[in-house]
């Protein structure tokens, strides 16, 4: 097998929680063998659930460090944050090949490390994020979290419903060619999905979608790339709506240089495929920025295309199964994107050697730019992501070329920023 993942990630490629880049090769199992795997997964999984109780070597009730500023406390790479409100949140990443978790309860001013059970090590600094053993967190709310990874021919799911004070771990078998988690999401404490990436190459990988309605205690293979899921493409985003029925998987197909969208209305059992139109000359490959199943009747895809001076930002939406509607705007270099409401979208662009906030409140028809640019210290950062705790309180996590993180906060919806 070739190198399992790409070390030199692109900035926008790391924006997506469910967007991981895989390189490698392996044979794709026949459809019949996939069906047998799906039928046996639930039965095997029922015997592989274990509760990690307090008092054991993996008791996680206490913090392991004195709270310090983000800069002085969170020394991780491949870092992420999730703020639950303006005060409370968590951050995670890797240090020395080990997964580390931190928490704040004062709006990000100070952070303390929180213990987690033993997790697989992964040399992210050498290999990049993704691949076997890379831990993929799924955060539903301030109390309920899942950590997932692939190891030994199985997907492993470590879960907590008390903010990490106690944990349960479960496992289920996956097809032989599965190499990593390609995406995961829960829409309720019980209803969730894991998208697995199998063998392939830089242009295509096999994909397998597993569904649980038991909080992750049992899983069923509901679809794969021999039936409804796209096979071409490794840059993929997945999102399910709150009703647990409507969902979307969007993938950049490098062979056609287009974005392919799969829609489901029955929790992933059946999919309808559409190739989105884009204003391209045929030589540009789009970058996928966001895929959303907004309501029982609306999908939204955000992407960008390179231009001579920056990017063309595309907002494409569909209502009630009708025709996809597109709006576009020429911007500087897109650094990060986020959504506050279905029609309220935020873009961080690099223009004239500064970082600026752009915002739309009508789904991309019209845009305005904040009057004040971000602090100049963020300009040299390479990987940037948004976390919007509430309509007023915004956070930006930035990493330099060595993946050292910095955290910035705005208390007034992106108009003014300070480094924490």
| Number of domains the chain contains | 1
What's the distance, CA 316 to chain centroid?
A: 20
In a domain, 336, yes or no: yes
Name the residue range of residue 358's domain. 241-373
pTM greater than the 0.85 cutoff:
no
Task: Identify the CATH number of the domain in which residue 306 sits.
Answer: 2.120.10.10
How far is it, in rounded angstroms, from Cα 252 to Cα 204? 10
CB-facing half-sphere around the CA of 84: CA atoms within 13 A: 17
Paired with 240 in beta bridges are 247
Paired with 83 in beta bridges are 89
In a domain, 279, yes or no: yes
pLDDT recorded at residue 51: 53
Ranges of the chain with pLDDT below 70? 1-65, 279-283, 379-382
Residues 6+ apart with CB under 8 A from 88: 103, 104, 105, 142
User: pLDDT tens for residues 307-317?
Assistant: 887 889 999 99
HEC string for 73-111: HCCCEEEEEEECCCCCEEEEEEECCEEEEEEECCCCCCE
In a domain, 272, yes or no: yes
In a domain, 99, yes or no: no
Length of the chain in terms of residues written: 420
pLDDT recorded at residue 288: 92
pLDDT recorded at residue 380: 64
What's the distance, CA 379 to chain centroid?
A: 23
| CB-CB contact of 183 with 237 (8 Å) | yes
In a domain, 400, yes or no: no
In a domain, 315, yes or no: yes
In a domain, 4, yes or no: no
In a domain, 300, yes or no: yes
């Amino acid at each position: 097998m070739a190198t399992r993942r790409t070390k030199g990630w692109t900035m926008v490629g790391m924006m997506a929680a469910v967007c991981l880049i895989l390189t490698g090769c392996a044979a794709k199992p026949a459809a019949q063998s996939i069906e047998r795997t799906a039928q046996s997964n639930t039965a095997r999984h029922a015997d592989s659930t274990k509760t990690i109780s307090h008092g054991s070597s993996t008791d996680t009730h206490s913090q392991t460090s004195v709270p310090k500023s983000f800069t002085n406390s969170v020394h991780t790479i491949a870092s992420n944050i999730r703020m639950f409100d303006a005060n409370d949140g968590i951050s995670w990443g890797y240090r020395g090949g080990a997964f580390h978790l931190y928490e704040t309860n004062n709006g990000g001013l100070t952070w303390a490390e929180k213990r987690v059970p033993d997790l697989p090590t992964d040399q992210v600094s050498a290999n990049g994020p993704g691949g076997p053993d890379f831990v993929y967190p799924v955060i539903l709310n301030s109390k309920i979290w899942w950590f997932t990874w692939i190891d030994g021919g199985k997907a492993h799911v470590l879960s907590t419903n008390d903010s990490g004070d106690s944990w349960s771990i479960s496992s289920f078998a996956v097809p032989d060619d599965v190499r990593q988690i390609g995406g995961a999401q829960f829409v309720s404490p019980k209803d969730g999905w894991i998208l697995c990436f199998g063998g392939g190459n830089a242009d295509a990988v096999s994909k397998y979608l597993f569904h649980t309605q038991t909080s992750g205690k049992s899983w069923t293979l509901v679809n794969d790339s021999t039936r409804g899921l796209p096979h071409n493409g490794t840059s993929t985003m997945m999102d399910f709506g709150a009703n647990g029925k409507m969902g979307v998987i969007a993938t950049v197909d490098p062979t056609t240089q287009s974005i392919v969208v799969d829609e489901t209305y029955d929790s992933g059992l059946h999919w309808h495929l559409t190739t989105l139109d884009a204003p391209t000359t045929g030589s540009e490959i789009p970058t996928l920025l966001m895929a959303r199943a907004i309501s029982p009747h609306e999908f939204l895809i955000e992407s960008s295309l390179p231009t001579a001076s920056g990017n063309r930002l595309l907002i494409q939406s569909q209502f009630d199964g009708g025709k996809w509607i597109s709006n576009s705007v020429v911007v500087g270099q897109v650094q990060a994107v986020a959504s506050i409401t279905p029609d309220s979208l935020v873009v961080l662009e690099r223009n004239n050697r500064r970082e600026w906030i752009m915002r739309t409140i009508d789904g991309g028809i019209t845009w305005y730019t904040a009057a004040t640019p971000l602090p100049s210290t963020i300009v040299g950062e390479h990987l940037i992501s948004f976390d919007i705790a509430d309509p007023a309180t915004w956070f930006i996590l930035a990493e330099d070329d060595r993946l050292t993180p910095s955290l910035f906060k705005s208390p007034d919806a992106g108009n003014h920023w300070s480094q924490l």
